[in-house]
């Protein structure tokens, strides 16, 4: 699958599956991830300490894997959009968007790169390009660019209807940790206010024909919101999934060791990663 195919599948209501790469750095890791049956991955640069060169190497490897590489940029700014698409990303996730102007800047960079300035602004505002030839050229050049907008705060939800009017958005992302903090209920993912906020985001996004991805960290939460309309599935991260896998499997092994007289060991608990 490539970015264009991912966009086409989600635009008609198809379900796609992906995860966040929070810790992996070696490009060889793509060989393992490509065998997981995922459609896409999001490489984090908002919270993860990765250099531009490291991300570029990772992207080069992913572009031969059949898994669509999308980069979560640090802030919703055109500089980061074009920087990572130029490095090989087949899409970007712009975090914590709250205004129409922020979204227009992101969309202009994703859809009409390398057009900049007043002409890029006009392209987003009116769809007008310098010529039909330019429009056709840029549409083809940027056809693999998946553009995901992060709605992670109360002001973002309040402006969502206007944000969704910006042409060129492919999906709406929700960061549960950030959203619950702005709602005043940090990490309370079963709280009625959080659930109401998600339902509002999904409802408004569906009305605009845009899929929603919610970055939940447990299987039950992911399943629940898949049933409630989140068709662009983003589950957990490489670090958290590895932690939980080792916890479960070594827990089973150590239980036999305990039966055979080995030392007891405490449960290492859930991963405490917050991204």
Residues in the chain: 275
> Which is nearest to 90 in space by CA: 119, 116, 61, 125?
61
User: So what's the architecture of 3-238 in CATH?
Assistant: Alpha-Beta Barrel (3.20)
Output the tens digit of pLDDT for each of the chain's 275 residues: 999 999 999 999 999 999 999 988 888 889 899 999 999 999 999 999 889 999 999 999 998 899 999 999 999 999 999 999 999 999 999 999 999 999 999 999 999 999 999 999 999 999 999 999 999 999 999 999 999 999 999 999 999 999 999 999 999 999 999 999 999 999 999 999 999 999 999 999 999 999 999 999 999 999 999 999 999 999 999 999 989 998 888 888 888 888 898 776 677 788 888 87
> 123-172 pLDDT, tens per residue?
999 999 999 999 999 999 999 999 999 999 999 999 999 999 999 999 99
Handedness of CA 12, 16, 20, 24 (dihedral sign): negative
Alpha-carbon torsion, ordered 157, 146, 50, 237, to 10 deg: 70
Q: Domain map of the chain by residue range?
A: 3-238
What pTM was computed for the model?
A: 0.94
At residue 73, the 3 state secondary structure works out as coil
> 69-86 pLDDT, tens per residue?
999 999 999 999 999 999
Pairing of strands 16-21, 91-94: unpaired
Q: Give me the pLDDT at residue 87, please.
A: 96
Question: 78 to each of 13, 115, 271, how far by Cα in Å?
Answer: 28, 11, 33
Cβ-contact 232, 206 below 8 angstroms: no
């Amino acid at each position: 699958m490539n970015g264009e195919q991912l966009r086409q599948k989600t635009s008609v209501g198809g379900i796609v599956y992906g995860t966040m790469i929070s810790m992996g750095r070696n490009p060889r890791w793509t060989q393992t991830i490509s065998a997981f049956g995922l459609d896409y991955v999001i490489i984090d640069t908002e919270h993860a300490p990765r250099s531009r060169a490291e991300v570029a190497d990772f992207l080069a490897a992913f572009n031969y894997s059949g898994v669509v590489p999308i980069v979560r940029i640090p802030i919703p700014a055109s500089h980061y959009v074009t920087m990572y698409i130029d490095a090989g990303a087949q899409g970007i996730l712009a975090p914590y968007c709250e205004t129409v102007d922020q979204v227009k800047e992101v969309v202009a960079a994703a859809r009409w790169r390398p057009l900049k300035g007043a002409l890029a602004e006009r392209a987003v505002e009116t769809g007008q390009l310098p010529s039909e030839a330019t429009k056709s050229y840029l549409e083809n050049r940027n056809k693999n660019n998946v553009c995901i907008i992060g709605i992670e705060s109360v002001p973002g939800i309040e402006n969502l209807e206007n944000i969704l009017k910006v042409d060129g958005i492919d999906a709406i992302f929700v960061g549960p940790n950030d959203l619950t903090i702005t709602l005043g209920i940090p990490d309370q993912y079963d709280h009625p206010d959080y659930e109401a906020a998600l339902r509002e985001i999904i409802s408004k996004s569906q009305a605009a024909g845009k899929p929603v991805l919610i970055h939940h960290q447990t299987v039950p939460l992911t399943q629940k919101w898949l049933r409630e309309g989140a068709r662009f599935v983003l589950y957990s991260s490489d670090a958290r999934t590895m932690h939980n896998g080792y916890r479960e499997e070594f827990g089973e092994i150590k239980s036999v060791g305990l039966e055979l007289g080995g030392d007891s060991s405490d449960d290492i608990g859930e991963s405490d990663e917050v991204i």
